[in-house]
Amino acid sequence: MNRIRSVAVCVLFWGFITGNFGSTIGKAETYTPGIPPFVPGSDLGQQFATKFLSLYCVDCHGEIDPEGGLTLTELGSVDELNADVWRSVWAQVTLREMPPAEGDTPEVVERLKFSEWIVGELQHAMRSKGGFHAHQDPGKANFLDHDLLFGVLPDGIKLRPTSTPARLWRLTPQEHITRLNELINTEPVFDPERPGLRTHGDAVPTNHGGELKLYFGTDRILRWQGGTVAYATSVKSVPAILSSARDHGLKNYPDFYSVNSSEATQIMDLADDLLRYMAFGPLSIANPEQITDDPSTYKIKGDIRGLPTAIVYSTKVVRPITPIHDLLAAQSRDASKVGAAVDYLFEALTFRPPTEQESSQYSGLVNESIDKLGWVDGTVLGLSAIFLDRDALFRPELVRDGEADEFGRVRLQDWELGLALNHALRYIRPDETLRQAILDGRMRTKADVKRELVRMLTTDSIRKPRVLQFFRDYFDYDHAGYLCKDNRALADTGVNTRGTSHYRAMFDASASTDRLVELVLSEDRQVLRRLLTTDQVVATPADGAYFGRRNTNEQRAASVAAAKYAAEQEDRELEAEILAAEKELAELTSQRKSDPDDERLKRSLDRKTKSLEMIKKRAANLKKRRGSINHNITEATLAGPEIFARVSRRSFGNGSMKPERILATVPKEERLGILTHPSWLVSHSDAMDNHAIRRGHWIRERLLGGGIPDVPITVDAMLPDEPKVSLRERMRVTREDYCWTCHKKMDPLGLPFEMYNHAGVYRTEELGRPVNTVGEVIDSGEPELDGEVANAIELIKRLSESERVEQVFVRHAFRFWMGRNETLHDAPILQEAYRAYRDSDGSMNALLISLLTSDAFLYRSRSDVPIDIGR
């Protein structure tokens, strides 16, 4: 007999004898979350799990007609073969989907212990297959019951002071490339009169094609041969090297990343380019004759478009002049210059000064390389090794110094604490004030952290790209330009499909939404609510179509008819104007022939000739503009003050992204907040249509704090291919009993956004019929939120007033800045952070001060430090 089945029989038999059949288990015990309730693989743990299944699961999942075809009596103990089934059981029990509410349900402690038992068993069983990590994924963080974090804990749960595991935190691609950019490019200082323009300390933005690249010497380019594409291929650029494992949501958990051998090789190649440019400027990427302030002196022979030799650079030095330049300019070995170059580069890459040992080792490596390879090549190779130093790619939080408290926690201090705080806000190294505080031993306490944090948060010139990155990760509005659309389906939305115009518009939209987020943050009140409900938009001149309204068939016909009538009127007027001008010109010509010496007639004839040419040119331009009229969309009138958005360095010649924007007001009753902006709507669509499931999943997870189990591998998660049927009708397949348990949490939340098409354009019809935008909030966890909504506007208004939504926002902020999922031990910190946000009228700064001065941020726990479980 199977082990679980045999134990289950014993449990049932014992229940009949004692009369305890159906009673709870472990009820009187004190439970400390995170402390394994049983040794993995132990009989005691197996007996506990079997009793849990017997009491709460086998009635529905027994041998006879089991629900969903899943019988748990034959499941067996956790192993590699049944791990997927146990993982599904873990998800269902943790999310309180099972057992069903109408039957016997376990107490909170029972459910938590059973969940932790499964996690421990899966980790043990899968240790030779890469382990089990699903519970650490940010997408599973909502599996922890929201009410346990923000409500009153039941008796029997004992919390301990929290901390975060000691770790190495790899740099993100954005952080790494911004750090390297500091070596070769001088960014403008912050201009309070023109906020929004890219400035020193901002992250390196993606370019016109959405690529994250490091550019060499673009601020010195005077001329190039060819057009935009030729420029893009001629200019020296290097893409980001470090990888990112996730497309959506929070991306920057330390456990996600390492540096592989391919990346290390690429970093060494890039280090060579960077060091030579630091030393020699454009001479490292161009010939001497290309560097001149008079482009006419550089004679380009033949067609060299797209080649590095097609560019002319000015002689003005704008890159940072560093000890690397001084060392290689010396052309002779000087121990002090070698040491200065090593120390400068080490701190530029690791953000801390080297120890004496580190400085000596790297200096010795440089000297050894010079001996073997010669002056320039040896210096470059020796210094390149610093680019692969552990602390140049990872930020350590190992707390090897310091005493552990009675709970096994060690407080971060000095450089580890200072760099942790710097990393929480910035991508460049600490400013001089923070650096000096670390050196002076004034970065060791909570008060020290708060002092520096408040200073940085309230200083506009100290740029804080990590804060903006949180909102990018939270809202996921920056994916629209990367989503490849079917061209015919895109044309049906009414937007421009010529060339890459749509994708350029979407990358511009991401930059515009970034700026809108910054504007809301600058006022720092009701930050989340205002982002959800603002009627403002940062826009380019081309955004009128995306914020416009899709015309119905009748409106399109009326637009065509009106344009035709206007064209006929214009043609008649122009024709009359041309005939009159031609007649007058003929008369002047005749007079001129009669009196060729009359200068007055000659001047009149010249003026009239030019006037006729102008009229004909105007007529041609009018006809050309008629061909570009978009009858499919009534464009929104977007007007307002001029502002700026952050864009990349010149990456596409004259076709590069432009920073100029306007701050406009969206059409009333058609838009409300970021979730109705094209950047978010397109980011949550697919190649052919809207994606109501994805949008609903986002709202369930990011606003309501709900969890959704993974799609079972046996499910073909495809909607029927029926192009003449609305998306809502095609989604009928998700209402089947097996699917609806999960889809009822998503679909009714995403369908209200059907008031926009998949290019983000507002519409009132779909396939010639009125579009159905009705949705519903079901089992939100806050009864006042539940119920039907007429459209996305009503849904957003309702959610924006919710206390639960704000608390879920705080949970996501915790995950982003702590780099891990929250646990029950973090409940006091989350509650305090929410109080700080609520009591400060929704201040993001207040939320950050609370989180970044909490024990979860300040303390680390080391695996080698024993924990007193009794305490």
- pLDDT tens-place string over residues 134-147: 899 999 999 999 99
Cα–Cα dist 182/549, whole Å? 44
Q: Is the pLDDT reported for residue 2 higher than 70? A: no
Q: What is the DSSP string of 337-377?
A: HHHHHHHHHHHHHHSSPPPHHHHHHHHHHHHHHHHHH-HHH
Residue 231, C-beta contacts closer than 8 angstroms, at least 6 positions apart: 224, 650, 652, 653
What pLDDT score was predicted for residue 4?
Answer: 44
Distances (CA, A) of 406 to 43, 160, 161, 508: 31, 11, 10, 53
Q: What are phi and psi of 869, to 5 degrees?
A: -65, -30
Q: Which of 149-163, 299-313, 379-393, 599-613 has the lowest mean pLDDT?
A: 599-613
**Residues 554-565: pLDDT tens digits?**
999 998 898 888
- Give SS3 for 731: helix
User: Counting beta carbons within 10 angstroms of the beta carbon of residue 620, is it exposed (0 to 12), middle (13 to 18) or buried (19 or more)?
Assistant: exposed
Rounded to whole angstroms, the Cα distance separating 365 from 349 reads 17
**pLDDT exceeds 70 at position 16:** no
Q: Find tokens 């190039």 and name the residue.
A: 224
Residue showing tokens 């983000």: 760
Check pLDDT > 60 for residue 10: no
Rounded distance, CA 146 to CA 804, Å?
Answer: 9
Token pair belonging to 834:
């929410």
Residue type for position 449: V
Which of 13-27, 67-81, 376-390, 708-722 has the lowest average pLDDT? 13-27
Residues 395-416: what's their mean pLDDT? 95
Question: What is the per-residue pLDDT across 479-507, written as a single tens digit (0 to 9) for each?
Answer: 999 999 999 999 999 999 999 999 999 99
pLDDT at 869 over 50: no
Q: Which residues contact 23 (CB under 8 A, 6 or more apart)?
A: 55
Q: What is the pLDDT of residue 308?
A: 95
Cβ neighbours of 717 (radius 10 Å): 10
pLDDT given for residue 333 in this prediction: 85
The percent of residues in the chain predicted with pLDDT above 90, rounded, is 71
Distance CA(246)–CA(244), nearest Å, equals 6
What is the 8-class DSSP label of residue 206? P
CA neighbours closer than 13 Å in the CB half-sphere of residue 68: 21
Report the pLDDT averaged over residues 109-129: 91
What pTM value is reported for the model? 0.92
Helix, strand, coil in percent for the chain, rounding step 5: 55, 5, 40
Range scoring the smallest mean pLDDT among 161-175, 242-256, 509-523, 821-835: 242-256
pLDDT surpasses 90 at 627: no
Amino acid 617: pLDDT: 85
Q: 567-587, pLDDT tens digit by residue?
A: 888 888 888 888 888 888 888
The pLDDT-based confidence of 6 (bands split at 50, 70, 90) is very low
Rounded CA separation 333/44 (Å)? 70
Q: Is the peptide bond before 99 cis (omega within 30 degrees of 0)?
A: yes
Residue 567 CA to residue 553 CA, distance in Å, equals 21
What pLDDT does 120 receive? 92
Domain boundaries, the chain: 3-132, 156-162+684-871, 322-388, 553-631
- Give the pLDDT of residue 123: 92
pLDDT tens track for 228-255 = 999 999 999 999 999 887 778 898 899 8
Give the model's confidence band at 613: pLDDT under 50 very low, under 70 low, under 90 confident, else very high.
Answer: confident
How many residues are recorded in the chain? 871
pLDDT, average across residues 166-174: 95
User: Stretch 640-667: mean pLDDT, rounded?
Assistant: 93
Residue in the block written with tokens 């080792």: 361
Mean pLDDT, all residues of the chain: 91
Alpha-carbon dihedral angle through residues 135, 138, 143, 148, given to the nearest 10 degrees:
110
Mean pLDDT within 804-821: 98
User: What do you get for the CA distance between the two ends of the chain, in Å?
Assistant: 42
- What integer is the mean pLDDT of 112-139? 91
Three-class SS state of 92: helix
Q: Is the pLDDT of residue 391 over 60?
A: yes
pLDDT higher than 80, residue 17: no
Say what percent of the chain tops pLDDT 70. 95
Q: Indicate the DSSP class of residue 461.
A: T
Is residue 12 over pLDDT 60? no
Q: What are phi and psi of 765, to 5 degrees?
A: -130, 155
Band (866; pLDDT cuts 50, 70, 90): low
Evaluate if residue 8 carries a pLDDT over 70: no
